Structure 1
Amino acid sequence: MKARRNKKQIPSFRKLLKTSKVKLENKLKNKQFKQQSTLKKYRKEQRKLRQAVKDAVSKKPIPLEDPKEKRPGKRIEREEEEEEEALPLDMMDEDDLQLMRDLGQRASFLTRDLSSSEPVHAKKRKHERVIDKYEKIPRTLQTAPEKELIHLLPIKDKSGIIPQTREKPVTDSNQDEEDQEELELEEEIVEDPIQELTLEEHLIERRKKLQEKKMHIAALASAILSDPESNIKKLKELRSMLMEQDPDVAVTVRKLVIISLLELFKDITPSYKIRPLTEAEKSTKIRKETQKLREFEEGLVSQYKFYLENLEQVVKDWKQRKLKKSNVVSLKAYKGLAEVAVRSLCELLVALPHFNFHNNIIVLIVPLMDDVSKSISEMCCDAVKKLFKQDKLGQASLGVIKVISGFVKGRNYEVRPETCIT
């Protein structure tokens, strides 16, 4: 008889490889499923343990001897319930029982958080370490500060030399500061009573102040005239006196300063127009004399500009009948101050037609030709007439005519006749 041929074909290598992959995947899935099942079991046992703890805490203590022995039915029911609760433990595996025993040994209902998995006595040991560290720190009591001793000369006795000491008196620095502040406050409060001056005494005091101011103005002006290039900074000091704040002499001092500066500018101003320097001229090296002349010209132009601005502000404040809150000049006295300022502008218009800011002076003077005040109007008209007569080049006169023409058109030809007659 012929041997039976095995009809089963030998699986190819590709098929073997495919089946091995499937097996590996199944193994991995089984492993993951087992891990999940063990985790579920562990969580379930944890929940049961927590529930048992809660029940033990909430359950009332049962006496050792039940006084109600006549009710055997309830005791039987209780025993049956305990047996039913114990059933799941009998049905567990050995590994699960061992895990439960370990958890039961670690459990401490007073010091352990049941949700944590760290050892029971870890926190207690840590707390004991903190206490030990605290106990090792040396104690310091709040004692009184040690008193400093001063060593005196010793005394010699039959028994020997006896050292002598004395306590140094402790002074409180805060108390000393408070006492000093109180003394300072008392000194500030105790002031000399203000003496009320009579009219004659007040006039004498005013004359004395005015004389001092006049001497100061004269000293500054003479120093500037003697050497303008070296003392150009004193021109600024003199101009700052236009803001005199003493109410007794404010008006008189300001008038004197305006007139003094007018005469100074007429004397020290050069016969040419000073132009600003270019960047190239500033960067080039020059001699000391030339540098000194440049500084003088720059200082002169800046102070002349500020002087004209001060005069313009005086005239504007008077025209608007407006005084500053901090102003010490009354409105009545402001008119005299404004007249002095206008006179100075008129003289500068005639005396310095070639110098800087002449067009600005024209713009200030022309509207004042039509002013309500007759004295100021006549003063400005006379200044314009003088300028027309002595102007040989005609450039300054042309500037005045242009400004007058624009002013008359702006007023719709409603101006005083003196404005056009000039």
Structure 2
Amino acid sequence: MGPFTAVKRRRLSPPEPEDGTSAVNAEQQFYKRTSKWNLEQDYEQPPRKNKSLDSGKLPIRTAEGWVEQEKENVPAENDVDSFSGSGEEEEQDEDMEVEDDEPKLSHRQQVVQAKEDLAKLASLVNEDPEEHLGSLKAIAQIASSTNTTVKKLALATQCAVYQDLIPGYRIRPASDEEMTAKLSKEVRKLRNYEQALVGGYQLYVRELESLVKGGKKTSDPTLAFVALSCACQLLKAVPHFNFRGELMQMIVSKLSSKKMDEDYTRCLRTIENLFQDDDDGHPSLDAVTLLTKMIKAKNYHVHESVLNTFLHLRLLIEFSYKGSNQTVDRLEKEDEEPRLKNGKEKKVFLTKRERKMRKERKVVEKEMKEADAEVSHEERDRLQSEMLKLVFATYFRILKAKTAPLTGAVLEGLARYSHLINQDFFGDILEALKELITDAISTDEDEEEEQEDQAEDITRNPTRESLLCVVTAFALLQGQDVTKSATTLHLDLKFFITHLYRTLYPAALNADIELGPKSYHLPDPLSGSSSLVQPTNKVNAQTTTVLLIRCLSSVLLPATSIRSVPPLRIAAFTKQLLTASLHLPEKSCLAMLALLNSTTKVHGKKVAALWNTEERRGDGVFDALRGEVEGSNPFAATVWEGEILRLHFCPKVREAVRVVEGNVGEVI
């Protein structure tokens, strides 16, 4: 061993005491020291080691549980510089990182979360709209989700919220001067709230419009269904508010299609309810204007239900003037003050102070009316007169165009509006009806050629169309005030009466006289088809028997001047109806005998000679096939059809014949 070598010493533990008391004391001292330790602080001081933090990304929650993301290999600076020329790859990498940072939830979890968020936001808006108006933007952001179900829920939530928030008046856009003017704190707060509400509502309506227009292009057409439902609901609930025209445009564009689906029916019911519940008049005028423009743009190739919406307008029961497609006559009011002979009103002397007070009072009354949103009777009459002109113009253009599918709807509408038609317009309508009857007769004669030339697959029924024209002509005449216009109204309905007289025999021999457009009947046994056949006629919902009874009632039992019906006409129709009753089915025969019962009660003396075989009032021979009423010579014949009808298989028919003969026997 050298002199500088360290001496190795043996390490020995201290000798333990023999009695063992020192070890116990050492343990107690150890516990005393540990009781003073701050374990939580010591735990926080050492650095944490977490794989997710080492990788730089948080764990992702999936359907299977929490999954830790792996650490990506970050390229070195040289590697980055080598790929610096491709900027697109760098952008794609950044997008991928952003997508990975977002938690991926399942479809069901997204829907549940969206329901909770929409419920919270909607409740906040309903509690205090002015303070939580920003929640509407949050709901709009949820509506921009790519999840279709979430988007539908957000659209429906916006519709419900806006229905509650929209006030009962229309918000006028504020000008620049009004925005810069000095206002109180409350007024400025209310104005900002109104402008924000209108802005959010406008964006929502535009979103609905884009979804409705792009319904066919999107992969999920149910979005367009929900958007159109929201538009219909808003138009029904708040027709007075802003952007009413955009909502109507969406609904009217749907009505322009010929596809009768659920959306079409909903839009149709919305327009009808709008016409019935409109107290203002402006929404109805806007809807009528859009409908007439759409019908004209489609060249009158629309479904007849669109025209039937005009029958729900309130001017049918409220409007008291008469008009046409160009002008509307104004009647003098009963409460109007009488004028002097020179046409000037009697002036009342007022002092300067009284004139000033009167002027100020008018200004205050005008402001009060605007504040209360009251619609004066003059303004309502003006709006309804504009609607009446638009409706009559559409009806008359369709009659001139001779559009077969819409003929029934137009004639029915003219019959309903008969009490509102001006006398100057009455003659033009009758001429158009005569042309329709002439066209129906030519169509009946050349039916096969006409069906080949028709562009649409629609089977016309000339008999029904001609009967509708006759019904409309007599309804228009009854709608006029004959007592006041007896000197100016000179109209001859002989053409329609003659055509009705010629139609009796062909109509009685028609096997489908009791079938309507929705009735089913057995197929032709020679056609080889075994399925039930539904008529394709779409002229009118009434059966041919009902139309025939309506026409005959107008001729034989008019509402006014019953005594003016000539006896020759009554006798000719009575003879023809009894002959036609022999060929009619049971129900139609009963209806015809009921009409004859009413006729014999009123005109019993005029037709009593037909049942008296011993007395003849006419010379010559009765011609049943004569096309003219006057040339048939009905008083030269006798009623022998009653003897055959007494042997009818139906007991009700036999009883009805006895009642008719009893009415005549009382007169004889």
Query: Normalised by the size of structure 1, how large is the TM-score?
Result: 0.48
Higher alpha-carbon Rg = 1
Query: Normalised by the size of structure 2, how large is the TM-score?
Result: 0.31
Q: Greater RCO between the two (CA within 8 Å, min separation 6)?
A: 1
